[in-house]
Structure 1
Amino acid sequence: MKIQTDRTKKIFYHSNLLFSIRIIIALLGTTLIPAFLGEIHATIPLTLGVIAAAIADIDASPKQRIVNLSLLLTCFAIAAFSVELLFPYPGLFLIGLILSGFFFTIIGALGQKFSVISLGTLLMATYTMLGVGLFKDQYVLSCLLILGALWYGLIAWIESIVQPIRTTHEYLNHSFKTLGKFLQAKSHMFDPDETDDFKIQTSELTTINQALIKSMNESKRSLFNRLRGDQGHKRVRIMLNYYFVAQDIHERATSSHISYQKLSHQLKNSDILFRISRILSLQGKACAQIADSIKYHQPYHHNHLFEKYFKLLDESIQNADISISLRLTLQNILKNLTEIDKQFRQINQVNYISQDSTNNNIVEDEVSSFKDAYDRIKKHLTLKSALFRHSVRISLVFAIGYIIILLTHLPHGYWILMTALVICQPNYSTTQKRVLIRFAGTISGIFLGVFFVYLFNTLPTQIFAIITSAWLYFIFKNSRQASATVFITLLVFFSFSLTGESSWDVAWSRIIATIIGSVGALLAVFLLWPDWKYRTLPSLVETANHDNANYLKQTHRQYQESRIDNVDYRYARREAHENSADLSELISIMSNEPKVDHDLIDQAFRFLTLNHTFISYIATLGVHRASKLSPDIQIMFNNIEHFIHDALHLHTIDDVKNHEYCNALQEILDTFNDHDYTNIDYQVISQLQLMLQILPEIIETSNKIILKH
Structure 2
Amino acid sequence: MLKRRDYYSTVFLYFLKIAIALTGAVIFPIWLGDGKLSIPVILGAVAAGLTDIDDSLKGRLTNTVIILVLFFIAALGVDALLPYPILFLIAIMASSAFLIFLGSLGSRFATIPFGTLVIVVYAMLTYKAERPWFLLPSLLVSGAFWYSVVAFLFNIALPSRPMQEALGKCYQELAQFLEAKSLFFDPDDDSDLTECKLRLTQISQTLGSTLETTRISIMRRLKHERGRRSARAILNYYLAAQEIFERAGSSHVDYQELKKEFPHSDLLFRFQRLMSAQGFACQKIASELLYKERYHHDGHFKMMFTRLKESLGYLTQEYQQESQQRLLYSTGSLLKNLSGIDEILLSLDREKELLLTAKESAVLLAEPKTDSSPMLESWRKVSRHFTPESPIFRHAMRVSLLMGIGFILAEGMNLIYSVMEGETVRLTTPYWIMLTSVFVCQPNYSATKTRTIKRLSGTVLGVVVTMLLLKLGLSREGQALFVVISGTLFFVMRQARYAYATALITMMVLFCFNLIDAGFVAPERLLDTFVGSLLAWAAVTYIYPEWRYRQLSVKIDAVKMANVAYLHEIAQQYHHGRVESPLYIKVRDDAGGRAGELVSLFSTLTVEPKTTRETLDYLFKVLALNNTFLSYISALGAHRAALGDAVVLEILDEAVSRIEYYLTGDEPLDLNEHQRFLVRIEEEREKLSVDEQRLEEISLHQVQLLLRLLPDYVEAIQTPK
| Counterpart in the other structure of 1:542 | 557
Which of 229, 247, 254 is the equivalent residue of 1:252? 247
**Map of 1:131 onto structure 2:** 126
Task: Indicate conservation of the 8 Å contact 2:70/2:116, yes or no.
Answer: yes
Letter in 2 for 1:442: T
Among residues 654, 658, 661, which one is paired with 2:674 in the alignment?
658
Matched letter for residue 656 of structure 1: N
Counterpart CA distance in 2 for 1:530 and 1:613 is 32
Q: Structure 1: 5+ residue runs without aligned partners?
A: none
Contact 1:456 1:465 in 2 (8 A): no
**2:154 maps to what in 1?**
159
Q: CA deviation at 1:292?
A: 0.9
Structure-2 residue corresponding to 1:551:
566
Q: Is the 8 A contact 1:257 1:620 kept in 2?
A: yes
Q: Residues 568-612 of structure 1, C-alpha deviation per residue, up to 9 Å, x if partnerless?
A: 211111100111111111100110011121111111111111111
Would you say the 8 A contact 2:163–2:217 is kept in 1? yes
Post-superposition Cα deviations, 1:12-69, rounded to whole Å, max 9, x if no partner, equal 0110122111111111111112222211011100000010000110011112100011
**d(CA) in 2 for partners of 1:366 and 1:8?**
47
**1:420-467 CA distances to partner (integer Å, 9 max, x unpaired)?**
111111111111111111111111111122222344553312211111
Give the one of 389, 393, 404 matched to 2:409.
Answer: 404
**Residue in structure 1 matching 2:660, options 642, 645, 664:** 645
Match of 1:484 in 2: 501
2: CA distance, partners of 1:18 / 1:593:
38
Read off the aligned partner of 1:619 and give its amino acid letter: S
- Tell me the CA shift for residue 245 of structure 1: 0.9
Alignment CA distance shift 1:314-1:457 (3 Å): closer
**SS, match of residue 133 in structure 1:** coil
Q: Hey, what does 1:345 align to over in structure 2? A: 346
SS at match of 2:712: helix
**Secondary structure in structure 2 of the residue aligned to 1:256:** coil
Aligned to 1:380: 385
1:601 aligned partner, one-letter code: L
**C-alpha distance in 1 between matches for 2:689 and 2:341:** 32
Partner of 2:358: 355
Asked if 1:462 is matched to 2:479, the reply is: yes
- The answer for the alignment partner of 1:683 in structure 2 is 698
For the pair 1:67 / 2:59, whether they are aligned, the reply is no
Q: Which residue of 1 aligns with 2:18?
A: 23
CA distance in 1, matches of 2:587, 2:432: 45
Distance 2:643 2:248 in 1: 22
2:437 to 414, 417, 420: 420
Question: Any conservation in 1 of the 2:281–2:297 contact (CA below 8 Å)?
Answer: yes
**1:303 matches 2:303:** no
CA deviation after TM superposition for structure 1 residue 675, in Å: 9.3
CA contact (8 A) 1:558 1:565 kept: no
Q: CA deviation at 1:666?
A: 2.8
In the other structure, the counterpart of 1:168 is: 163
Q: Distance in 2 between matches of 1:352 and 1:541?
A: 35
The answer to whether structure 1 residue 598 and structure 2 residue 613 are counterparts is: yes
Q: Which residue does the alignment assign to 1:370? A: 375
Considering only aligned residues, what root-mean-square deviation do their CA atoms show, in Å? 2.0
Which of the residues 494, 513, 518 maps onto 1:496?
A: 513
Out of 9, 33, 41, the position equivalent to 1:14 is: 9
* Cross-structure match for 2:422: none
Q: Is the 8 A contact 1:393 1:524 kept in 2?
A: yes
The answer to whether the aligner puts 1:54 opposite 2:37 as a matched pair is: no
How far is the alpha carbon of 1:674 from its aligned partner?
Answer: 7.2
1:321-332 matches, within 5 Å, as 321-322=318-319, 323-332=324-333
**Residue 635 of structure 1 aligns with which residue?**
650
User: Matches of 2:435 and 2:198 in 1, distance apart?
Assistant: 38
CA 1:391–1:477 in structure 2 vs 1: closer, same or farther (change >3 Å)? same
Provide the residue aligned with 1:277 in structure 2: 272
- Hey, what's the Cα distance between the residues in 1 that align with 2:341 and 2:223? 30
TM-score with structure 1 length normalisation?
0.95
- Three-state SS of the structure 1 residue aligned to 2:718 is helix
Please tell me whether the aligned partners of residues 453 and 497 of structure 1 are also in contact (alpha carbons under 8 angstroms): no
Alignment of 1:525-540 (within 5 A): 525-532=540-547, 535-540=550-555
Is the 1:453–1:493 contact (alpha carbons within 8 Å) kept by the matching residues of 2? no
Give the CA deviation at 1:349.
3.3
Distance 1:675 1:448 in 2: 71
Partner residue in 1 for 2:420: none
- Whichever residue aligns with residue 383 of structure 1, its letter is P
Percent identity of paired positions between Structure 1 and Structure 2: 33
Alpha-carbon distance in structure 2 between the residues aligned to 1:18 and 1:85:
39
* Shift in CA distance, 415/82, structure 1 to aligned 2, threshold 3 Å: same
* Contact 1:109 1:387 (8 Å CA) reproduced: yes
Code of the aligned partner of 1:528: I
What is the alpha-carbon distance in structure 2 between the residues aligned to residue 91 and residue 673 of structure 1? 80
- Confirm or deny that 1:704 pairs with 2:719: yes
Query: Aligned partners of 1:363, 1:419: CA distance in 2, in Å?
Result: 41
Paired AA for residue 665 in structure 1: I
In structure 1, distance between residues paired with 2:620 and 2:692: 38
Deviations 1:357-401 (A, max 9, x none): 223445878998222211111111222221112111111111111
Aligned partner of 1:582: which letter?
A: E
Structure 2: how far apart are the matches of 1:366 and 1:397? 39
The residue type equivalent to 1:108 in the other structure is G
2:200 equivalent to 1:205 = yes
2:226/2:358 contact within 8 Å kept: no
Contact 2:54–2:162 (8 Å) recurs in 1: yes
Residue number in structure 1 paired with 2:491: 474
Match of 1:291 among 286, 290, 308: 286
Shift of 1:193: 4.1
* Matched residue count: 698
SS in 2 for 1:628: coil
Tell me which residue corresponds to 2:76: 81
Tell me how far 1:189 sits from its aligned partner: 1.1
> Where do 1:516-527 residues align within 5 Å?
516-527=531-542
Secondary structure of the corresponding residue to residue 132 of structure 2: coil
Q: 1:175–1:212: 8 Å Cα contact kept in structure 2?
A: yes
Name which of 572, 575, 581 aligns with 2:596.
581
Q: More displaced, 284-293 or 236-245?
A: 236-245
| Map of 1:390 onto structure 2 | 395
**Structure 1 residues 70 and 448 mapped into 2: Cα distance closer, same or farther (>3 Å)?**
same
In 2, distance between residues paired with 1:621 and 1:369?
Answer: 38
Q: Is 1:453 equivalent to 2:470 in the alignment?
A: yes
Tell me the SS of whatever aligns to 2:26: helix
Bigger mean CA offset, 654-663 vs 197-206: 654-663
Give the aligned residue type for 2:44. G
**Which of 261, 266, 283 does residue 266 from structure 1 map onto?**
261
SS in 1 for 2:640: coil
Output the CA distance in 1 between the equivalents of 2:369 and 2:523: 45
Q: Secondary structure at the match of 1:554?
A: helix
Deviations 1:212-250 (A, max 9, x none): 112212221221122123335543322211111111111
Q: 1:181–1:536: structure 2 CA closer, same or farther, 3 Å change rule?
A: same
Q: Distance in 2 between matches of 1:661 and 1:614?
A: 18
User: 1:233/1:454 Cα in 2 relative to 1: closer, same or farther (>3 Å)?
Assistant: farther
2:181 aligns with: 186
Matched, 1:515 2:559: no
State how far apart, in whole Å, the 1-side matches of 2:401 and 2:26 are: 36
Q: Encode CA deviations 1:185-227: one digit per residue, 9 max, x unaligned.
A: 1111123444322112111211111121122122212211221
- Output the CA distance in 1 between the equivalents of 2:207 and 2:698: 27
State whether residues 232 and 354 of structure 2, in contact with CA within 8 Å, keep that contact through their aligned partners in structure 1: no
Matched, 1:96 2:91: yes
Q: Which runs of 5+ in 2 are unaligned?
A: 418-426
> Following the alignment from structure 2 to structure 1, what is the Cα–Cα distance between the partners of residues 367 and 196?
33
Q: CA deviation at 1:704?
A: 2.9
Change (3 A) 1:169 1:135: farther
Q: 3-state DSSP class of the match of 1:535?
A: coil
The residue type paired with residue 710 of structure 2 is: L
Change in Cα spacing, 1:700 to 1:364, as seen in structure 2 (3 Å) is farther
